[in-house]
């Protein structure tokens, strides 16, 4: 049995995907792994590049049915979700990431030392060296969403109450148990996928990682942010190509996540307020995005959920 199956879902980011695969190929350590690239209908030659330059990679040419569906194709290729998994762990990895040679081995070592850890993610950093805040998150409960939408989280980032979504009160150097990590680089124990199922394909893009972590924690598994492992994340290249579509999907996903996990336990007034806020903020976000220069377009939100956005 493999130690690790790496699944990369890609959409029109050929050059970034090449760099990502080259970095994975350079991985070191005592582990047996394979890589599967699911190309979500790219038109930039991404799939042909993989076939020509990385013949050792399992390649699936797929119709674009979203990030969750694409990942599930790759996971099922290794038996996850079928009851006959061919690997002990699965790593969901975005094509706009670059991993150092020790990263895969170090992440597995981290999980092996924590039998109750079902999901883990590394420290993700942007090109400028800053932390990608999506790599460690609290769940966007109605309370947490209010703090973000009202601006309280930005006004009081060091507050344990108001800074709960991105854990801005906590140093990025601290390894800690969290609610969720991000699907840009998410290591999942095979047993977790056997118990809770694969990604929910209702989520075309965004929040499928939050949803998986939510279901894992409901079953008693831990989710960890591993500050000792760092991965470079360029972020946002594919969503910038279809920024209006990405914004629509983002706000649609916000409502779906709330309704699925919090609507039944919230009051009618709370649900109405959240739905109305999502509609208003979504409309404003789409309008603002249309006036931005092309290189700055994408999903920029005042509310929770944003994570990886380069695979659709």
Q: What is the CATH number for 145?
A: 3.90.550.10
Classified as helix, coil or strand, 308 is coil
279 and 197 assigned to the same domain:
no
Residue 303 lies in a domain: no
Among residues 210, 2, 1, 232, the alpha carbon closest in space to that of 103 is found at: 232
206 and 188 assigned to the same domain:
yes
- Contact indicator for 183, 92 with CB cutoff of 8 Å: yes
Classified as helix, coil or strand, 194 is helix
Domain boundary among 237, 262, 277: 237
Tokens at residue 293, please?
């220069």
**pTM for the whole thing?**
0.84
pLDDT of residue 312: 44
pLDDT of residue 7: 98
pLDDT of residue 309: 46
The span from the CA of 104 to the CA of 30, in Å, is 10
pLDDT of residue 197: 96
The span from the CA of 71 to the CA of 93, in Å, is 9
Q: Which residue numbers in the chain have pLDDT < 50?
A: 238-239, 297, 302, 308-312
135 and 256 assigned to the same domain:
no
Residue 302 lies in a domain: no
199 and 244 assigned to the same domain:
no
231 and 243 assigned to the same domain:
no
Number of domains forming the structure of the chain: 2
Classified as helix, coil or strand, 70 is helix
Domain of 121, in residue numbers: 2-237
Residue 304 lies in a domain: no
The span from the CA of 135 to the CA of 122, in Å, is 7
């Amino acid at each position: 049995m493999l130690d690790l199956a790496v699944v990369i879902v890609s959409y029109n980011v050929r050059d970034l995907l090449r760099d990502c695969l080259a970095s994975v190929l350079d991985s070191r350590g005592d582990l047996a792994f394979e890589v599967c690239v699911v190309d979500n209908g790219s038109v930039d030659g991404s799939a042909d590049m993989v076939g020509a330059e990385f013949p050792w990679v399992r390649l699936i040419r797929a119709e674009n049915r979203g990030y969750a569906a694409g990942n599930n194709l790759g996971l099922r290729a290794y038996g996850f979700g079928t009851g006959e998994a061919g690997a002990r762990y699965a790593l969901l990895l975005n094509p706009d990431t670059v991993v150092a040679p020790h990263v895969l081995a170090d992440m597995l070592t981290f999980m092996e030392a924590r039998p109750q850890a079902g999901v883990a993610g590394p420290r993700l950093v942007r090109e400028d060296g800053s932390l990608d805040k999506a790599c460690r998150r609290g769940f966007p409960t109605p309370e947490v969403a209010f703090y973000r939408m009202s601006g309280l989280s930005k006004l009081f980032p060091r507050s344990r109450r108001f800074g709960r979504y991105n854990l801005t009160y906590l140093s990025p150097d601290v390894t800690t148990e969290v609610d969720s990590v991000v699907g840009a680089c998410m290591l999942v124990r095979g047993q977790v996928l056997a118990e809770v199922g694969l990604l929910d394909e209702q989520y075309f893009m965004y929040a499928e990682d939050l949803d998986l972590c939510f279901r894992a924690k409901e079953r008693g598994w831990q989710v960890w942010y591993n500050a000792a492992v760092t991965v470079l994340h360029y972020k946002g290249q594919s969503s910038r190509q279809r920024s209006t579509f990405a914004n629509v999907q983002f706000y649609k996903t916000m409502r779906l996540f709330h309704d699925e996990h919090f609507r039944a336990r919230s009051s009618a007034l709370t649900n109405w307020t959240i739905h109305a806020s999502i509609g208003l903020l979504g409309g404003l976000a789409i309008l603002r995005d249309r006036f931005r220069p092309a290189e700055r377009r994408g999903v920029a939100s005042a509310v929770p959920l944003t994570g990886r956005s380069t695979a659709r």
